[in-house]
Structure 1
Amino acid sequence: MDWLSTLSSGGTVEWRRAVVALLVAFGLTQGIAGVYMLTFRGLSYSRTIVQSMAMGSIITCTLMLAVGNNIAAGIGVAGGVTAIRFRTTMRDPRDVVFVFASLAIGMASGAQAYGAAIAGSVMFAGASLLLHVTGYGSRRQPDGLLRFVAPAGQAGAESAGAIARILREHCRTFSLVTLREAAQGTVMEHAYQISVHHPDLRVQLVTSLQGVPGVEDVSLMLQEPTLDL
Protein backbone atom coordinates (compact mmCIF):
# COMPACT_ATOMS: atom_id res chain seq x y z
CA MET A 1 0.00 0.00 0.00
CA ASP A 2 3.07 2.28 -0.04
CA TRP A 3 2.49 3.16 -3.69
CA LEU A 4 -1.11 4.13 -2.90
CA SER A 5 0.04 6.42 -0.11
CA THR A 6 2.51 7.98 -2.47
CA LEU A 7 -0.10 8.69 -5.12
CA SER A 8 -2.52 10.27 -2.64
CA SER A 9 -0.99 13.56 -1.61
CA GLY A 10 -3.40 14.02 1.27
CA GLY A 11 -3.65 10.45 2.53
CA THR A 12 -6.73 8.27 2.67
CA VAL A 13 -8.88 11.18 3.78
CA GLU A 14 -8.49 12.82 0.34
CA TRP A 15 -9.54 9.61 -1.36
CA ARG A 16 -12.60 9.35 0.84
CA ARG A 17 -13.58 12.93 0.12
CA ALA A 18 -13.19 12.36 -3.61
CA VAL A 19 -15.28 9.20 -3.53
CA VAL A 20 -18.01 10.90 -1.47
CA ALA A 21 -18.08 13.89 -3.80
CA LEU A 22 -18.31 11.71 -6.90
CA LEU A 23 -21.05 9.55 -5.40
CA VAL A 24 -23.05 12.62 -4.38
CA ALA A 25 -22.72 14.10 -7.87
CA PHE A 26 -23.70 10.83 -9.54
CA GLY A 27 -26.63 10.19 -7.21
CA LEU A 28 -28.09 13.67 -7.49
CA THR A 29 -27.86 13.73 -11.26
CA GLN A 30 -29.59 10.36 -11.40
CA GLY A 31 -32.54 12.09 -9.79
CA ILE A 32 -32.31 14.95 -12.29
CA ALA A 33 -32.21 12.45 -15.15
CA GLY A 34 -35.24 10.66 -13.72
CA VAL A 35 -37.20 13.91 -13.61
CA TYR A 36 -36.17 14.59 -17.20
CA MET A 37 -37.48 11.21 -18.34
CA LEU A 38 -40.69 11.67 -16.36
CA THR A 39 -41.47 15.12 -17.73
CA PHE A 40 -40.23 14.61 -21.29
CA ARG A 41 -42.77 15.21 -24.03
CA GLY A 42 -42.02 14.72 -27.68
CA LEU A 43 -40.70 12.20 -30.16
CA SER A 44 -37.00 13.05 -30.26
CA TYR A 45 -36.11 11.30 -27.00
CA SER A 46 -32.39 10.62 -26.70
CA ARG A 47 -30.98 8.07 -24.31
CA THR A 48 -27.53 9.60 -24.73
CA ILE A 49 -28.70 12.91 -23.27
CA VAL A 50 -29.88 11.15 -20.13
CA GLN A 51 -26.61 9.28 -19.81
CA SER A 52 -24.59 12.42 -20.47
CA MET A 53 -26.18 14.06 -17.42
CA ALA A 54 -24.65 11.49 -15.06
CA MET A 55 -21.34 11.29 -16.91
CA GLY A 56 -21.06 15.06 -17.22
CA SER A 57 -21.51 15.55 -13.49
CA ILE A 58 -18.74 13.03 -12.79
CA ILE A 59 -16.41 14.86 -15.16
CA THR A 60 -17.07 18.30 -13.69
CA CYS A 61 -16.79 16.92 -10.17
CA THR A 62 -13.45 15.35 -11.03
CA LEU A 63 -12.18 18.62 -12.51
CA MET A 64 -13.23 20.56 -9.42
CA LEU A 65 -11.51 18.02 -7.17
CA ALA A 66 -8.36 18.17 -9.28
CA VAL A 67 -8.24 21.96 -9.31
CA GLY A 68 -9.11 22.59 -5.68
CA ASN A 69 -7.58 25.91 -4.64
CA ASN A 70 -4.75 25.70 -7.17
CA ILE A 71 -5.07 28.67 -9.54
CA ALA A 72 -2.47 27.33 -11.95
CA ALA A 73 -4.30 24.02 -12.20
CA GLY A 74 -7.55 25.87 -12.83
CA ILE A 75 -6.02 27.81 -15.70
CA GLY A 76 -4.63 24.60 -17.17
CA VAL A 77 -7.98 22.83 -16.94
CA ALA A 78 -9.74 25.82 -18.52
CA GLY A 79 -7.26 25.79 -21.39
CA GLY A 80 -7.74 22.07 -21.91
CA VAL A 81 -11.53 22.40 -21.97
CA THR A 82 -11.44 25.25 -24.49
CA ALA A 83 -9.31 23.09 -26.79
CA ILE A 84 -12.14 20.56 -27.02
CA ARG A 85 -14.76 21.35 -29.64
CA PHE A 86 -18.26 20.19 -28.81
CA ARG A 87 -20.13 19.85 -32.09
CA THR A 88 -23.25 18.18 -30.72
CA THR A 89 -26.27 20.46 -30.99
CA MET A 90 -29.43 20.20 -28.92
CA ARG A 91 -32.63 21.23 -30.64
CA ASP A 92 -34.60 21.62 -27.43
CA PRO A 93 -33.49 24.38 -24.99
CA ARG A 94 -34.96 22.29 -22.18
CA ASP A 95 -32.36 19.58 -22.83
CA VAL A 96 -29.61 22.18 -22.51
CA VAL A 97 -31.01 23.33 -19.17
CA PHE A 98 -31.05 19.79 -17.74
CA VAL A 99 -27.51 19.06 -18.92
CA PHE A 100 -26.31 22.38 -17.51
CA ALA A 101 -28.02 21.61 -14.19
CA SER A 102 -26.19 18.28 -14.03
CA LEU A 103 -22.87 20.00 -14.69
CA ALA A 104 -23.61 22.56 -11.98
CA ILE A 105 -24.36 19.79 -9.48
CA GLY A 106 -21.08 18.14 -10.39
CA MET A 107 -19.22 21.40 -9.84
CA ALA A 108 -20.85 21.96 -6.46
CA SER A 109 -20.08 18.41 -5.40
CA GLY A 110 -16.49 18.72 -6.53
CA ALA A 111 -16.17 21.91 -4.50
CA GLN A 112 -17.59 19.90 -1.57
CA ALA A 113 -20.48 22.33 -1.27
CA TYR A 114 -22.87 19.49 -0.60
CA GLY A 115 -25.56 21.73 0.84
CA ALA A 116 -25.73 23.77 -2.35
CA ALA A 117 -25.65 20.62 -4.50
CA ILE A 118 -28.47 18.91 -2.63
CA ALA A 119 -30.61 22.03 -2.26
CA GLY A 120 -30.08 23.00 -5.89
CA SER A 121 -30.95 19.54 -7.22
CA VAL A 122 -34.06 19.28 -5.04
CA MET A 123 -35.22 22.75 -6.05
CA PHE A 124 -34.54 22.11 -9.73
CA ALA A 125 -36.32 18.74 -9.71
CA GLY A 126 -39.27 20.16 -7.77
CA ALA A 127 -39.61 23.13 -10.11
CA SER A 128 -39.47 20.86 -13.16
CA LEU A 129 -42.19 18.59 -11.79
CA LEU A 130 -44.36 21.56 -10.79
CA LEU A 131 -44.11 23.17 -14.22
CA HIS A 132 -44.87 19.84 -15.87
CA VAL A 133 -47.93 19.07 -13.74
CA THR A 134 -49.41 22.57 -13.99
CA GLY A 135 -48.70 22.85 -17.72
CA TYR A 136 -47.05 26.21 -17.19
CA GLY A 137 -46.37 28.08 -20.42
CA SER A 138 -48.72 26.00 -22.57
CA ARG A 139 -51.40 27.61 -24.68
CA ARG A 140 -54.52 26.14 -26.20
CA GLN A 141 -53.66 25.45 -29.82
CA PRO A 142 -55.87 24.33 -32.71
CA ASP A 143 -55.90 20.59 -33.26
CA GLY A 144 -55.07 20.94 -36.91
CA LEU A 145 -55.65 22.53 -40.30
CA LEU A 146 -58.64 21.31 -42.29
CA ARG A 147 -58.50 21.70 -46.07
CA PHE A 148 -61.08 20.84 -48.72
CA VAL A 149 -62.42 22.00 -52.06
CA ALA A 150 -66.08 23.02 -52.43
CA PRO A 151 -68.08 24.17 -55.46
CA ALA A 152 -68.34 27.90 -56.16
CA GLY A 153 -71.42 29.90 -57.12
CA GLN A 154 -74.93 28.58 -56.50
CA ALA A 155 -73.74 25.02 -55.88
CA GLY A 156 -71.33 26.31 -53.28
CA ALA A 157 -74.08 28.22 -51.47
CA GLU A 158 -76.11 25.02 -51.20
CA SER A 159 -73.19 23.03 -49.72
CA ALA A 160 -72.11 25.86 -47.40
CA GLY A 161 -74.96 25.13 -45.00
CA ALA A 162 -74.09 21.45 -44.79
CA ILE A 163 -70.40 22.26 -44.24
CA ALA A 164 -71.20 24.72 -41.45
CA ARG A 165 -73.49 22.21 -39.77
CA ILE A 166 -70.81 19.49 -39.85
CA LEU A 167 -68.18 21.84 -38.45
CA ARG A 168 -70.45 22.94 -35.58
CA GLU A 169 -71.31 19.32 -34.81
CA HIS A 170 -67.73 18.03 -34.63
CA CYS A 171 -65.62 21.05 -33.68
CA ARG A 172 -65.34 23.03 -30.50
CA THR A 173 -63.95 25.98 -32.45
CA PHE A 174 -63.26 26.56 -36.15
CA SER A 175 -61.88 29.56 -37.96
CA LEU A 176 -61.58 30.16 -41.70
CA VAL A 177 -57.99 31.11 -42.50
CA THR A 178 -57.83 30.73 -46.30
CA LEU A 179 -60.45 30.98 -49.04
CA ARG A 180 -59.37 31.20 -52.67
CA GLU A 181 -60.58 30.36 -56.14
CA ALA A 182 -59.24 27.42 -58.08
CA ALA A 183 -59.89 25.64 -61.37
CA GLN A 184 -60.75 28.93 -63.11
CA GLY A 185 -63.25 29.93 -60.46
CA THR A 186 -65.34 26.78 -60.56
CA VAL A 187 -64.33 25.67 -57.06
CA MET A 188 -63.16 27.32 -53.85
CA GLU A 189 -60.33 26.05 -51.68
CA HIS A 190 -61.16 26.27 -47.96
CA ALA A 191 -58.72 26.08 -45.05
CA TYR A 192 -59.93 26.06 -41.43
CA GLN A 193 -58.11 25.95 -38.12
CA ILE A 194 -60.18 23.63 -35.97
CA SER A 195 -60.37 22.19 -32.47
CA VAL A 196 -62.52 19.08 -32.26
CA HIS A 197 -64.61 18.12 -29.25
CA HIS A 198 -62.80 14.79 -28.98
CA PRO A 199 -59.90 13.21 -30.92
CA ASP A 200 -62.19 10.34 -31.98
CA LEU A 201 -64.29 12.80 -33.99
CA ARG A 202 -61.48 13.62 -36.42
CA VAL A 203 -62.20 10.65 -38.68
CA GLN A 204 -65.94 11.30 -38.51
CA LEU A 205 -65.37 14.92 -39.47
CA VAL A 206 -63.41 14.02 -42.59
CA THR A 207 -65.91 11.31 -43.54
CA SER A 208 -68.88 13.63 -43.10
CA LEU A 209 -67.32 16.35 -45.24
CA GLN A 210 -66.55 13.84 -47.99
CA GLY A 211 -70.24 12.96 -48.04
CA VAL A 212 -71.27 16.52 -48.89
CA PRO A 213 -72.02 16.79 -52.64
CA GLY A 214 -69.25 18.63 -54.47
CA VAL A 215 -66.76 18.60 -51.56
CA GLU A 216 -63.48 16.97 -52.56
CA ASP A 217 -59.85 16.62 -51.48
CA VAL A 218 -60.64 16.70 -47.75
CA SER A 219 -57.49 16.59 -45.61
CA LEU A 220 -56.82 17.21 -41.94
CA MET A 221 -53.24 18.04 -41.01
CA LEU A 222 -52.75 17.58 -37.30
CA GLN A 223 -50.38 19.78 -35.38
CA GLU A 224 -48.93 19.02 -31.97
CA PRO A 225 -46.85 21.97 -30.66
CA THR A 226 -45.17 19.83 -28.01
CA LEU A 227 -43.83 17.24 -30.43
CA ASP A 228 -40.59 17.62 -32.31
CA LEU A 229 -40.28 15.62 -35.51
Structure 2
Amino acid sequence: MFDSITVQTATEVESISILIFTIALSFVLSTLLAFVYQKTFRGLSYSRNYVQSIVLISIISAVVIQSVGDSLSRGIGIMAAMSIIRFRTHFKDPRDTLFLFAALAAGIACGSYAFPVAIIGTLGFSIAAIVLYYSPLGPNSYFDGMLRFNLQVNNSQQKELERLLQEFCKSFALVTMREMAQGERLDYAYHIKLRKAKRHEDFMAELKRIDDLQGLSLMMQESTVDI
Protein backbone atom coordinates (compact mmCIF):
# COMPACT_ATOMS: atom_id res chain seq x y z
CA MET A 1 0.00 0.00 0.00
CA PHE A 2 2.80 2.40 0.90
CA ASP A 3 4.55 1.57 -2.37
CA SER A 4 1.46 2.53 -4.37
CA ILE A 5 1.14 5.82 -2.47
CA THR A 6 4.81 6.59 -3.11
CA VAL A 7 4.48 5.84 -6.83
CA GLN A 8 1.33 7.94 -7.11
CA THR A 9 2.95 10.90 -5.30
CA ALA A 10 6.05 10.71 -7.50
CA THR A 11 3.85 10.61 -10.61
CA GLU A 12 1.89 13.68 -9.48
CA VAL A 13 5.10 15.62 -8.78
CA GLU A 14 6.46 14.65 -12.20
CA SER A 15 3.20 15.73 -13.90
CA ILE A 16 3.28 19.10 -12.12
CA SER A 17 6.91 19.59 -13.15
CA ILE A 18 6.08 18.83 -16.78
CA LEU A 19 3.10 21.21 -16.66
CA ILE A 20 5.24 24.02 -15.25
CA PHE A 21 7.90 23.38 -17.92
CA THR A 22 5.21 23.37 -20.64
CA ILE A 23 3.77 26.70 -19.52
CA ALA A 24 7.24 28.23 -19.11
CA LEU A 25 8.33 27.11 -22.58
CA SER A 26 5.14 28.40 -24.22
CA PHE A 27 5.69 31.72 -22.42
CA VAL A 28 9.28 32.00 -23.67
CA LEU A 29 8.40 31.09 -27.26
CA SER A 30 5.40 33.42 -27.42
CA THR A 31 7.47 36.23 -25.88
CA LEU A 32 9.96 35.74 -28.70
CA LEU A 33 7.11 36.03 -31.22
CA ALA A 34 5.86 39.21 -29.53
CA PHE A 35 9.37 40.69 -29.61
CA VAL A 36 9.76 39.89 -33.31
CA TYR A 37 6.32 41.39 -34.03
CA GLN A 38 7.25 44.60 -32.22
CA LYS A 39 10.62 44.94 -33.97
CA THR A 40 9.23 44.25 -37.45
CA PHE A 41 6.08 46.35 -37.03
CA ARG A 42 5.72 49.35 -39.30
CA GLY A 43 2.84 51.74 -38.87
CA LEU A 44 1.69 54.77 -36.95
CA SER A 45 0.98 52.85 -33.75
CA TYR A 46 0.57 49.37 -32.39
CA SER A 47 -1.57 47.96 -29.61
CA ARG A 48 0.28 46.83 -26.50
CA ASN A 49 -2.79 44.77 -25.57
CA TYR A 50 -2.40 42.81 -28.80
CA VAL A 51 1.29 42.12 -28.06
CA GLN A 52 0.32 40.79 -24.64
CA SER A 53 -2.42 38.68 -26.24
CA ILE A 54 0.23 36.92 -28.35
CA VAL A 55 1.91 35.75 -25.14
CA LEU A 56 -1.24 34.88 -23.21
CA ILE A 57 -3.00 32.95 -25.98
CA SER A 58 -0.02 30.60 -26.29
CA ILE A 59 -0.22 29.75 -22.58
CA ILE A 60 -3.98 29.23 -22.82
CA SER A 61 -3.67 26.84 -25.76
CA ALA A 62 -0.94 24.86 -23.97
CA VAL A 63 -3.12 24.49 -20.85
CA VAL A 64 -6.14 23.46 -22.95
CA ILE A 65 -4.17 20.76 -24.77
CA GLN A 66 -2.82 19.55 -21.42
CA SER A 67 -6.36 19.37 -20.05
CA VAL A 68 -7.63 17.36 -23.02
CA GLY A 69 -4.85 14.76 -22.98
CA ASP A 70 -6.00 11.53 -24.65
CA SER A 71 -9.59 11.80 -23.44
CA LEU A 72 -12.09 12.23 -26.28
CA SER A 73 -14.98 13.07 -23.95
CA ARG A 74 -12.89 15.70 -22.17
CA GLY A 75 -11.95 17.27 -25.50
CA ILE A 76 -15.58 17.46 -26.57
CA GLY A 77 -16.50 19.06 -23.24
CA ILE A 78 -13.78 21.70 -23.58
CA MET A 79 -14.84 22.46 -27.17
CA ALA A 80 -18.43 22.94 -25.97
CA ALA A 81 -17.28 25.27 -23.20
CA MET A 82 -15.02 27.26 -25.54
CA SER A 83 -17.81 27.63 -28.09
CA ILE A 84 -19.64 29.88 -25.63
CA ILE A 85 -16.90 32.50 -26.09
CA ARG A 86 -17.21 34.69 -29.17
CA PHE A 87 -14.09 36.43 -30.50
CA ARG A 88 -15.19 39.47 -32.48
CA THR A 89 -11.84 41.23 -32.81
CA HIS A 90 -11.17 42.39 -36.37
CA PHE A 91 -7.58 42.67 -37.53
CA LYS A 92 -6.77 45.36 -40.07
CA ASP A 93 -3.51 43.67 -41.05
CA PRO A 94 -3.44 39.95 -42.00
CA ARG A 95 0.07 39.86 -40.53
CA ASP A 96 -1.43 40.35 -37.05
CA THR A 97 -3.54 37.23 -37.54
CA LEU A 98 -0.49 35.21 -38.60
CA PHE A 99 1.42 36.09 -35.42
CA LEU A 100 -1.60 35.08 -33.34
CA PHE A 101 -1.78 31.73 -35.16
CA ALA A 102 1.97 31.25 -34.62
CA ALA A 103 1.50 31.75 -30.88
CA LEU A 104 -1.41 29.28 -30.91
CA ALA A 105 0.69 26.73 -32.77
CA ALA A 106 3.55 27.10 -30.29
CA GLY A 107 1.19 26.61 -27.35
CA ILE A 108 -0.48 23.58 -28.93
CA ALA A 109 2.90 21.99 -29.68
CA CYS A 110 4.06 22.57 -26.10
CA GLY A 111 0.81 21.21 -24.68
CA SER A 112 1.15 18.01 -26.71
CA TYR A 113 4.79 17.54 -25.59
CA ALA A 114 6.12 18.21 -29.09
CA PHE A 115 8.82 20.48 -27.67
CA PRO A 116 11.27 20.23 -30.63
CA VAL A 117 8.43 21.12 -33.01
CA ALA A 118 7.47 24.11 -30.87
CA ILE A 119 11.04 25.42 -30.59
CA ILE A 120 12.11 24.85 -34.20
CA GLY A 121 8.75 26.07 -35.56
CA THR A 122 8.84 29.30 -33.53
CA LEU A 123 12.47 30.00 -34.46
CA GLY A 124 11.72 29.29 -38.12
CA PHE A 125 8.71 31.60 -38.15
CA SER A 126 10.65 34.37 -36.39
CA ILE A 127 13.61 34.12 -38.76
CA ALA A 128 11.29 34.13 -41.79
CA ALA A 129 9.48 37.24 -40.48
CA ILE A 130 12.78 39.09 -39.97
CA VAL A 131 14.14 38.03 -43.39
CA LEU A 132 10.94 39.13 -45.14
CA TYR A 133 11.03 42.45 -43.27
CA TYR A 134 14.49 43.29 -44.63
CA SER A 135 13.91 41.70 -48.05
CA PRO A 136 12.52 43.53 -51.12
CA LEU A 137 9.12 42.13 -50.11
CA GLY A 138 9.22 44.21 -46.92
CA PRO A 139 7.89 47.76 -46.52
CA ASN A 140 9.73 50.29 -48.67
CA SER A 141 8.73 53.23 -46.50
CA TYR A 142 6.70 53.99 -43.43
CA PHE A 143 5.23 57.13 -41.95
CA ASP A 144 5.11 58.69 -38.52
CA GLY A 145 2.75 61.62 -39.02
CA MET A 146 -0.39 62.96 -40.69
CA LEU A 147 -0.35 66.44 -42.27
CA ARG A 148 -3.63 68.18 -43.15
CA PHE A 149 -4.32 71.57 -44.69
CA ASN A 150 -6.51 73.21 -47.31
CA LEU A 151 -5.42 75.50 -50.12
CA GLN A 152 -7.10 77.56 -52.80
CA VAL A 153 -7.36 75.91 -56.20
CA ASN A 154 -4.52 76.82 -58.58
CA ASN A 155 -2.58 78.55 -55.83
CA SER A 156 0.62 80.14 -57.11
CA GLN A 157 2.67 78.73 -54.22
CA GLN A 158 1.88 75.08 -54.94
CA LYS A 159 5.49 74.52 -56.02
CA GLU A 160 6.74 76.08 -52.78
CA LEU A 161 4.62 73.58 -50.86
CA GLU A 162 6.09 70.66 -52.80
CA ARG A 163 9.61 72.01 -52.18
CA LEU A 164 9.02 72.12 -48.41
CA LEU A 165 7.68 68.57 -48.43
CA GLN A 166 10.77 67.33 -50.23
CA GLU A 167 13.09 69.33 -47.97
CA PHE A 168 11.66 68.30 -44.61
CA CYS A 169 10.22 64.85 -45.39
CA LYS A 170 12.13 61.68 -46.08
CA SER A 171 8.97 60.27 -47.65
CA PHE A 172 5.40 61.48 -48.08
CA ALA A 173 2.25 60.22 -49.75
CA LEU A 174 -1.03 61.90 -50.55
CA VAL A 175 -3.82 60.05 -48.72
CA THR A 176 -6.91 62.10 -49.56
CA MET A 177 -7.78 65.21 -51.54
CA ARG A 178 -11.30 66.58 -51.54
CA GLU A 179 -13.07 69.72 -52.65
CA MET A 180 -14.46 72.21 -50.18
CA ALA A 181 -15.99 75.70 -50.23
CA GLN A 182 -17.99 74.80 -53.34
CA GLY A 183 -14.92 73.69 -55.22
CA GLU A 184 -12.90 76.83 -54.58
CA ARG A 185 -10.50 75.12 -52.15
CA LEU A 186 -8.89 71.69 -51.86
CA ASP A 187 -8.36 69.83 -48.60
CA TYR A 188 -5.17 67.69 -48.53
CA ALA A 189 -4.11 64.88 -46.18
CA TYR A 190 -0.54 63.52 -46.36
CA HIS A 191 1.24 60.68 -44.60
CA ILE A 192 4.76 61.93 -43.92
CA LYS A 193 8.07 60.72 -42.55
CA LEU A 194 10.32 63.57 -41.39
CA ARG A 195 14.05 63.52 -42.01
CA LYS A 196 16.22 62.83 -38.97
CA ALA A 197 17.83 66.27 -39.01
CA LYS A 198 14.51 68.12 -39.32
CA ARG A 199 12.15 69.26 -36.56
CA HIS A 200 8.41 69.33 -37.01
CA GLU A 201 8.26 72.79 -35.35
CA ASP A 202 10.45 74.24 -38.12
CA PHE A 203 8.38 72.42 -40.72
CA MET A 204 5.17 73.93 -39.40
CA ALA A 205 6.73 77.41 -39.24
CA GLU A 206 7.72 77.22 -42.90
CA LEU A 207 4.30 75.97 -43.96
CA LYS A 208 2.57 78.85 -42.16
CA ARG A 209 4.47 81.30 -44.38
CA ILE A 210 2.56 80.08 -47.42
CA ASP A 211 -0.20 82.52 -48.28
CA ASP A 212 -3.81 81.30 -48.15
CA LEU A 213 -2.87 78.00 -46.48
CA GLN A 214 -5.55 77.24 -43.87
CA GLY A 215 -6.57 74.44 -41.49
CA LEU A 216 -2.96 73.39 -40.95
CA SER A 217 -2.51 70.48 -38.54
CA LEU A 218 0.25 67.93 -37.99
CA MET A 219 -0.26 64.79 -35.91
CA MET A 220 3.01 63.04 -35.05
CA GLN A 221 3.24 59.53 -33.62
CA GLU A 222 6.08 57.18 -32.91
CA SER A 223 5.84 53.69 -34.39
CA THR A 224 5.75 52.10 -30.93
CA VAL A 225 3.00 54.20 -29.38
CA ASP A 226 0.26 52.16 -27.74
CA ILE A 227 -3.35 52.70 -28.80
TM-score, structure 1 length as denominator?
Answer: 0.68
Q: 1:89 to 1:124 in 2, by over 3 A?
A: farther
Could you tell me how far 1:217 is from its partner in structure 2?
Answer: 0.9
The equivalent of 1:212 in structure 2 is: 210
Mapped partners of 2:176, 2:59: distance in 1: 49
Could you tell me how far 1:133 is from its partner in structure 2?
Answer: 4.1
The equivalent of 2:170 in structure 1 is: 172
The equivalent of 1:121 in structure 2 is: 118
The alignment partner of 1:97 has SS state of helix
The structure that has the greater radius of gyration is 1
CA contact (8 A) 1:22 1:62 kept: no
Q: 1:87 to 1:182 in 2, by over 3 A?
A: closer
Mapped partners of 1:28, 1:175: distance in 2: 43
- Structure 1: runs of 5+ lacking an equivalent: 68-73, 110-116
The equivalent of 1:43 in structure 2 is: 47
Mapped partners of 1:176, 1:89: distance in 2: 32
Percent pairwise identity? 21
Mapped partners of 2:64, 2:110: distance in 1: 11
Alignment of 1:67-82 (within 5 A): 67=70, 74-82=71-79
The equivalent of 2:150 in structure 1 is: 149
Aligned residue type for 2:117: G
Mapped partners of 1:200, 1:131: distance in 2: 34
What CA deviation, in whole Å up to 9, does each residue of 1:147-177 have, x standing for no partner? 2122335xx11x2232122112112344455
Q: When the two structures are aligned, how many residues end up with a matched partner?
A: 207
The equivalent of 1:61 in structure 2 is: 66
Could you tell me how far 1:80 is from its partner in structure 2?
Answer: 0.8
Mapped partners of 2:19, 2:153: distance in 1: 72
Mapped partners of 2:32, 2:184: distance in 1: 56
The equivalent of 1:104 in structure 2 is: 109
Q: 1:12 to 1:187 in 2, by over 3 A?
A: closer
Deviates more, 1:121-130 or 1:184-193: 184-193
What is the alpha-carbon root mean square deviation over aligned residues? 3.6
Could you tell me how far 1:128 is from its partner in structure 2?
Answer: 4.2
Mapped partners of 2:77, 2:197: distance in 1: 54
Aligned residue type for 2:86: R
CA contact (8 A) 2:34 2:54 kept: no
TM-score, structure 2 length as denominator?
Answer: 0.69
CA contact (8 A) 1:148 1:217 kept: yes
Aligned residue type for 1:75: L
The equivalent of 2:86 in structure 1 is: 87
Deviates more, 1:163-172 or 1:21-30: 21-30
The alignment partner of 2:211 has SS state of coil
CA contact (8 A) 1:35 1:128 kept: no
CA contact (8 A) 1:60 1:106 kept: yes
CA contact (8 A) 1:21 1:61 kept: no
